[in-house]
């Protein structure tokens, strides 16, 4: 029973770490796309 609790905690930590990395990756992809869309560094207001 205690073993199951420990497993659950580790699973939650792993899930949290995955979500943080995913958010970070998504942010980097979005930033890269913005640079591609506006290579001159201009901000488009049409969206």
Q: What digits encode the pLDDT tens for the residues 19-39?
A: 999 999 999 999 998 887 766
State the Cα–Cα distance between residues 12 and 32, nearest whole angstrom.
30
State the Cα–Cα distance between residues 47 and 28, nearest whole angstrom.
19
16 in any annotated domain: yes
| Residues of the chain above pLDDT 70, percent | 74
Confidence tier at 45 by pLDDT (50, 70, 90): low
Structural domain boundaries enclosing 17: 1-34
State the Cα–Cα distance between residues 16 and 34, nearest whole angstrom.
27
29 in any annotated domain: yes
47 in any annotated domain: no
What's the total number of domains in the chain? 1
Look at residues 27, 47, 23 and name the one whose alpha carbon lies nearest to residue 37: 47
39 in any annotated domain: no
45 in any annotated domain: no
Helix intervals (H) in the chain: 2-37
């Amino acid at each position: 029973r205690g073993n199951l609790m420990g497993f659950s905690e580790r699973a939650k930590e792993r899930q949290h770490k995955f979500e943080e990395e995913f958010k970070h990756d998504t942010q980097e992809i979005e930033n890269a796309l913005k640079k591609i869309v506006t290579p001159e560094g201009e901000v488009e207001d049409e969206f």
